[in-house]
Amino acid sequence: MKGRSFIHTGEFKREELEKLLAAARAFKSGARRDRPLDGRQIALLFFNSSLRTRTSFEVGIRQLGGGVSTLEIGAGVWNLELAEGTRMEGKAAEHIKDAARYLSRVYQAICVRAFPGLDNYDEDMRDSILRAFEKHSKVPVINMESSLYHPCQGMADMLTIRERFGDKPVRVLHAWTTHPKALPTSVSNSLVLAALQMGHEVTVCHPPEFPLPDPILKQARGLKVVNDFARAAKGAQVVYSKSWGSPAFYGRRDEETKLRCEQYRDWRIDESFMSATADAIYMHCMPLRRNVEVTDGVLDSARCAIYDQAENRLHVQKAILTELVG
């Protein structure tokens, strides 16, 4: 895996993902204390805000002996132009290809976080910012969340499930829940793809107007999709809730908000929902809206695994950096 980029888990074989999980468990248990990034420098580029991603990458890189620079695009770092062949007369001071080529000469890896705009569906499906860095960088590019994928979160999710259930496959329910605003599908995309790769039985429950993107559904062989929220919980061993926006309402946010917040206001995870499962654990990537997406009673119960997930970001990212860059 040395020298490769980490864009999404589908670009890796299952045995490679298993190797990453094994390394993450070794880091977490303390069995590994080596510093494979000694003398290496890593750039973290943020086009969007972050809490867990920023802290876990910074801490992890330092624990591995590396140096880290956190760069916020548009806040201390130039705005970047993405379009090829454009006459740069707008607010962007530098082209993304020039930034990537320069950073490749200074750093041994470039980590990028760039959310979708949720205005142009085709543009978001191209994952343009991340793919541009991958194209023009001479060093590995690690996806810290893009328009389409959040593979580090997906791997942390797999580690969390592995810790709770061992190596056996389990029934994972990924449930859409209400939210005040439209959100990306990247977490959901990576959860579904990684869980299927690792042999789990995956069901996604969402309102008819809120499917996952076509490029993901084409990859998700064996995925089951249902639209009946009240009955979806039956038999689930993992309930992983998340909200996301509707592809059909791109550029029409007011209409989508009314649909999501009025018609589907009751799509949230509560104690009654969890009681219908097969004694499932509850998972969410965070941040989350308490008592909107999920009730306090679920979040503050012993079945809640969200803090394990959050911590596991640190360990899987250390494994990824070690295998690709160390």
**Secondary structure string (H, E, C) spanning 184-250:** CCHHHHHHHHHHHHCCCEEEEECCCCCCCCHHHHHHCCCCEEECCHHHHCCCCCEEEEECCCCHHHC
Per-residue pLDDT band at 76 (split at 50, 70, 90) = confident
Q: What is the pLDDT of residue 116?
A: 94
Domain membership of residue 118 (yes or no) is yes
pLDDT tens digits along 37-67: 999 999 999 999 999 999 999 999 999 999 9
Strand partners, 77: 73
Angstrom distance (rounded) from CA 220 to CA 212 = 10
Residue type at 104 in one-letter notation: S
Q: What is the pLDDT of residue 293?
A: 98
Q: What is the pLDDT of residue 253?
A: 85
195 and 84, same structural domain?
no
User: What is the full DSSP assignment across 24-90?
Assistant: HHHHHHTS----TTTT-EEEEEESS--SHHHHHHHHHHHHTT-EEEEEEBTTTB--EE-STT----S
297 and 177, same structural domain?
yes
Judged against a pLDDT cut of 90, whether residue 317 lies above it is answered with yes
pLDDT tens digits along 157-216: 999 999 999 999 999 999 999 999 999 999 999 999 999 999 999 999 999 999 999 999
Q: What is the pLDDT of residue 262?
A: 94
pLDDT tens digits along 219-267: 999 999 999 999 999 999 999 999 999 988 888 888 999 999 999 999 9
Domain membership of residue 133 (yes or no) is yes
Judged against a pLDDT cut of 90, whether residue 26 lies above it is answered with yes
Q: What is the pLDDT of residue 319?
A: 98
107 and 197, same structural domain?
no
Encoded tokens for 108: 């041994």
Angstrom distance (rounded) from CA 109 to CA 4 = 10
- H or E element, residue 293: none
97 and 231, same structural domain?
no
118 and 46, same structural domain?
yes
172 and 82, same structural domain?
no
Q: What is the pLDDT of residue 265?
A: 95
Q: What CATH number does residue 166 fall under?
A: 3.40.50.1370
For 40, the domain range is 9-149+313-324
pLDDT tens digits along 79-136: 999 999 999 999 999 999 999 999 999 999 999 999 999 989 999 999 999 999 999 9
Q: What is the pLDDT of residue 153?
A: 98
Angstrom distance (rounded) from CA 320 to CA 132 = 21
Q: What is the pLDDT of residue 251?
A: 82
265 and 190, same structural domain?
yes
Number of compact structural domains in the chain: 2
Judged against a pLDDT cut of 90, whether residue 279 lies above it is answered with yes
In angstroms and rounded to an integer, the radius of gyration of the C-alpha atoms of the chain is: 20
Judged against a pLDDT cut of 90, whether residue 318 lies above it is answered with yes
160 and 133, same structural domain?
no
Phi and psi angles of residue 47, each rounded to the nearest 5 degrees, phi first: -90, -10
Environment class of 30 (CB within 10 Å of its CB; exposed 0-12, middle 13-18, buried 19+) = exposed
233 and 117, same structural domain?
no
For tokens 């793919």, the residue is 131
